[in-house]
Amino acid sequence: MAEADSAQTENQTNEEITYQAVEKDGVVTAIWEMKGRRHLRTIDPRSRQGREILNLYTTEEVDHPASEAAATS
């Protein structure tokens, strides 16, 4: 049984952190930080970190009203 626990722990540490944009009517309303299938936290797309994540993972052609609204605030 210890081998199964060890393998499960190893799989959890090897899973990389990913980000998923949650959109409503074409506007990013939240960013989910995920590790595998596990939700770690929700990031506000208007926050500094949210804008950085959106800028890293999108092209210049994509318009993000939530991040632009935060930048002008």
The per-residue pLDDT for 44 is 98
pTM (two decimals) = 0.62
**Cα distance between residue 58 and residue 49, in whole Å:** 14
Per-chain mean pLDDT for the chain: 79
| b (16+ CB within 10 A) / e for 49-65 | ebbebbeeeeeeeeebe
The per-residue pLDDT for 7 is 53
pLDDT tens, position by position, 22-42: 999 999 999 999 999 999 999
> What number is the average pLDDT over the span 35-58?
94
| b (16+ CB within 10 A) / e for 2-34 | eeeeeeeeeeeeeeeeeeebeeeeeebeebebb
> What number is the average pLDDT over the span 47-68?
76
